[in-house]
Amino acid sequence: MFKTISFKRLDSTNDRAKQILEPNTVIMAEEQLKGKGRFNRNWSSSKGGIYLSLILEIKDAKDLSYLTIIAAISAQKAIKEVCNLSSVIKWPNDLLYNNKKLCGILTESMIGKKKLAIVGIGINTNNEIPLSLSKKSISLNKLLKKKIDNKKIVSSLLKNFEKYFKLLKNKKYSKIISDWKKNFFLGSNIKVKTMNKNYSGIAYDIDKDCFLIIKDKYGKKITIKEGDIFLE
Ligand code: BTN
């Protein structure tokens, strides 16, 4: 279903995808010079890792949050299938192992004549993690002490993504959420840093809009729409 365009080096696969804007296309790069994360952060993107962006047509703006979820489940399944490693999904867009980041997802919307979305996925496979990030991030080859087959991961990722994207087109929202929850950090003690306020509590649930619900120490449920999560 997806047509792949590969580059040796790009500033950012998300930015190149925004120029190409052909639905069902995947833009890949061996390295990125200006890899982007959420909140305009940098995404360290040296050679060896996986850096790709999917260009997708969506029907509904609501589908945007679901695309991030689908990408997280697909990357998680790919890592399990190829490396036999179970990672945890941290809301809304990270895969962690032992509390360190293996994968990040950046979904951006391009609402013009057609509603298009760009889903950027970065997976730390064989790339060197800079010392400054070594407390927060880890690569699969460091964890498993062997070279990781990027091609196999990408092919499994795209196969899984295609399957979940079909579910999304058919509005099977609850199936997507229930698969997401299977390897999600529900029940963990977390701290949440939003733009305006900090919270702490237990990751309690995900609602139908893909927002995170936490329960604080008084048992009050709080809906989190954006922010950074820290596992305690
Ligand atoms: C995050 O965790 O903040 C999201 C990181 C997303 C990184 C990927 S790598 C491929 C794509 N191109 C980019 O510039 N960013 C995303």
Closest-CA residue to 78 (of 147, 155, 1, 3): 155
Distance from C-alpha of 95 to C-alpha of 208, rounded to nearest angstrom: 21
- The C-alpha atoms of residue 16 and residue 177 are separated, in whole angstroms, by 30
Torsion sign, CA atoms 53, 54, 60, 66: negative
Q: Is 68 in the pocket of ligand 1 (CB under 6 A)?
A: no
For the Cβ of 105 lying below 6 angstroms from any atom of ligand 1, the answer is: yes
Reduced DSSP (H G I as helix, E B as strand, rest coil) percent helix, strand, coil of the chain, to 5: 30, 35, 35
Say what angle helices 150-169 and 173-182 make with each other, to 10 degrees: 140
pLDDT by residue (tens digit) across 154-170? 999 999 999 999 999 99
Residue/partner pairs of 198-202 with CB below 8 Å, 24 or more apart:
199/224, 200/232
- CATH fold group of domain 189-231: SH3 type barrels. (2.30.30)
Atom number, ligand 1, closest to the C-alpha of residue 39: 3
User: From CA 144, how far away is CA 127, in angstroms rounded?
Assistant: 13
pLDDT recorded at residue 94? 92
Counts for the chain of helices (H) and strands (E), in that order: 5, 12
Ligand 1 centroid – CA 35 distance (Å): 6
The domains of the chain are located at 3-181, 189-231
Q: Which tokens sit at 117?
A: 């979305």
Please give the distance, rounded to the nearest whole angstrom, from the Cα atom of residue 128 to the centre of ligand 1: 16
The interaxial angle of helices 150-169 and 63-83, nearest 10 deg, is 140
* Mean of the per-residue pLDDT values of the chain: 94
CATH of domain 3-181: 3.30.930.10
Query: pLDDT-derived band of residue 223, with 50, 70 and 90 as boundaries?
Result: very high
Lowest mean per-residue pLDDT among 29-38, 179-188, 209-218 = 179-188
Percentage of the residues of the chain whose pLDDT score is greater than 70: 100
Cβ–ligand 1 distance for 106 under 6 Å, the answer yes
Atom of ligand 1 nearest to the CA of 36: 14
Looking at residue 232, its pLDDT comes to: 79
Closest residue by Cα to atom 15, ligand 1, is 36
Largest CA distance in the chain: 53
Hey, whose CA ends up nearest to atom 1 of ligand 1?
37
119: helix, coil or strand?
strand
Centre of ligand 1 to C-alpha 48, Å, is: 15
180 compared with 36, residue with greater pLDDT = 36
Assess whether the C-beta atom of 227 lies below 6 angstroms from ligand 1: no
Which residue has a Cα nearest atom 2 of ligand 1?
104
Beta bridge partners of 229: 192
Closest-CA residue, ligand 1 atom 3, reads 37
pLDDT for the residue 45: 97
Q: What is the DSSP string of 176-212?
A: HHHHHHHTB-TT-EEEEE-SS-EEEEEEEEE-TTS-E
